Structure 1
């Protein structure tokens, strides 16, 4: 099972549990609806914050990977040019 599916399942179960708990609480209907609305907003904000953090982490790691790749490519090009120059020097000696 994928981690994201598991996390979404856990979050869904927690939200359902909280909603059921509020529904069975001995309170007026208007207060219960307000509590559900407030909890839903809290959960939504929490999920959005976590999602934004994950996206930010992925973006920053992606930039680091690209920069690392560019650096390694530049090193490979330098090594190739050095080998090419060495091969020309050996060829000219014979």
Structure 2
């Protein structure tokens, strides 16, 4: 989890706890109403936290998928480059072999 996301989650939790505490201290309503408000605030904070977590998870999945595609593209380029180099090496060796055969034939004469 990134540092900023961790700070945001921590800030939400601290804000919810402080809000609940202040609400209890200054509540003009009955206890049952106050408890309902606290529960609603808790539920709202929980839903916000869940949404942020899901958003972060989706972002990480997209980044992982992009990284995977980039890695596959790089690997494909590397394989293609190796294939090209292999063909160059084979062509060079074939030319050297032909030169050696000519030299051997000239040496026999």
Q: Highest CA radius of gyration, 1 or 2?
A: 2
Q: Larger relative contact order (C-alpha < 8 A, sep ≥ 6)?
A: 2
Give the deviation of 1:10 after TM superposition: 1.6
| Structure 2 equivalent of residue 14 of structure 1 | 15
Quick check: 1:69 aligned with 2:49? Answer: no
Question: Contact 2:20 / 2:38 at 8 angstroms: preserved in 1?
Answer: yes
How many equivalent residue pairs? 93
Question: Contact 2:24 / 2:34 at 8 angstroms: preserved in 1?
Answer: yes
Give the deviation of 1:61 after TM superposition: 1.1
Which ranges of structure 2 fall in alignment gaps of 5 or more residues?
97-109
Distance 1:50 1:10 in 2: 13
Distance 1:10 1:50 in 2: 13
- Counting only pairs closer than 5 Å after superposition, residues 34-53 of structure 1 correspond to structure 2 as 34-53=36-55
Distance 2:24 2:91 in 1: 84
Distance 1:70 1:26 in 2: 63
Give the deviation of 1:87 after TM superposition: 0.6
TM-score (normalised: structure 2): 0.79
Which ranges of structure 1 fall in alignment gaps of 5 or more residues?
none
Deviation track 1:25-64 (CA, whole Å, cap 9, x = no partner) reads: 2211011000001010000001001100100111111111
TM-score (normalised: structure 1): 0.90
